[in-house]
Amino acid sequence: MYFPVAGIEVSPWLPPIIAFSISFFTSMGGVSGAFLLLPFQVSVLGYVSPSVSATNQVFNIVAIPSGVYRYIREGRMVWPLTWVVVIGTLPGVLIGAIIRISYLPNPKNFKLFAGFVLLYIGIRMLRDLLQKKQGTGGKALAEQQFQKVVKEYQQKNLARSQSGKQELPRVSVKKVSLTHIVYEFYGQNFDINTIGILSLSFIVGIIGGVYGIGGGSIIAPFFVTYFGLPVYTVAGAALMGTFVTSVAGVAFYQLIAPFHPGMSVAPDWALGFLFGAGGFAGMYLGARMQKFVPAKTIKWILVLCIMVPAVRYIIAFFR
């Protein structure tokens, strides 16, 4: 099947399968998988024009709602955190789109930029994992308590065939202000600096706009490493932030496309929807299975997924 905007020929079954495989695992950590789909499109499919960023965001728009639905249904959406992420990343994504078109149209330079972004995130998560092996802080305690309750949940629901399934406890928001957000997760309170989240989200939004992943995807590792939040509570907020900013990013790329007639800027909608279809199924199942997977396992999956393409891109640039 030929995709004229991307200028590539791909079997129609390949994008959904790849997207499903990636998003099933990454959605557990609040990452859509777009950051891995982009290297696949650039390096494997040969899709190197700036419109690959917009196509990646189409994938986010199609795929993310299923994962967000699962996190909402299971009561692990911290809505105040979600909207702070959206407000912070949205203007950054638009700025990032301009930078991508104006200063990073060369595929080689773009790969180097993407490689360093991924490498930095991966190193931060790796340090967090190695330093928190015997962690006893609020995040570690909350995650351990959550895993304990989930095991009890499984056992009780296996025994309850007639009276219906028992629901897991939900995240409880205690305070929302211009300076702080406080929420409770399995007996532990988490106090978030709103201004700090806004500032970080803006910077991450710029990076995400350039890289074509909406911004919210990068914010999830930062929440875990910098702010010490449980991965089980940030996944939904990060995905929702990615969805909203991806809508803005796609609209922006589409609007400015006529002003760049000699460059492929607008998304390849057909290719984006094929990736999105696989991602839709993968994210739903990944979000549903997240509660059964240890937090450390989810973080190791993210580290491995981030570090491999990062190192590959950086080495390729200097060859």
Contact 223, 229 (CB under 8 A): yes
Task: Tell me the pLDDT tens digit for each residue of 221-270.
Answer: 778 877 888 888 888 888 988 888 888 888 888 888 888 887 888 899 99
Give how far Cα 256 sits from Cα of 8, 98, 173, Å. 23, 9, 40
Q: In 3-state terms, what secondary structure has residue 96? A: helix
Contact 100, 210 (CB under 8 A): yes
Task: Tell me the pLDDT tens digit for each residue of 208-224.
Answer: 777 656 566 678 777 88
Q: Does the pLDDT of residue 105 top 70, yes or no? A: no
pLDDT category, 164, cuts 50, 70, 90? low
- In Å, the largest CA–CA distance within the chain is 64
- In angstroms, the CA 208 to CA 127 distance is 22
Checking 312-318 for CB contacts under 8 A at 24+ apart, the result is 312/39, 312/43, 312/115, 313/39, 313/111, 313/112, 313/114, 313/115, 313/118, 314/112, 314/115, 314/116, 314/119, 316/111, 317/108, 317/111, 317/112, 317/115
Q: Which residues contact 208 (CB under 8 A, 6 or more apart)?
A: 89, 92, 93, 96, 214, 215, 216, 217, 218, 242, 245
The CA angle 117-303-180, to the nearest 5 degrees, is 70
Task: Tell me the pLDDT tens digit for each residue of 110-145.
Answer: 778 778 877 887 887 787 778 755 455 666 677 777
- In angstroms, the CA 237 to CA 240 distance is 5
Looking at residue 103, its pLDDT comes to: 77
What mean pLDDT value characterizes the chain? 83
Share of the chain above pLDDT 70, in %: 88
Question: What are the φ/ψ torsions at residue 106 (nearest 5 degrees)?
Answer: -75, 125
- In angstroms, the CA 212 to CA 209 distance is 5
Task: Tell me the pLDDT tens digit for each residue of 45-81.
Answer: 988 887 888 898 899 999 999 999 999 998 889 999 9
Question: What are the φ/ψ torsions at residue 172 (nearest 5 degrees)?
Answer: -120, 115
- In angstroms, the CA 157 to CA 175 distance is 33
Task: Tell me the pLDDT tens digit for each residue of 175-211.
Answer: 999 999 999 988 888 999 999 999 988 988 887 777 6
Stated as kind and residue range, the H or E segment containing 67 is helix 51-73
Q: In 3-state terms, what secondary structure has residue 283? A: helix
Give how far Cα 15 sits from Cα of 19, 54, 82, Å. 6, 16, 29
Looking at residue 277, its pLDDT comes to: 96
Q: In 3-state terms, what secondary structure has residue 176? A: strand
Looking at residue 211, its pLDDT comes to: 67
pLDDT category, 107, cuts 50, 70, 90? low
- In angstroms, the CA 200 to CA 219 distance is 8
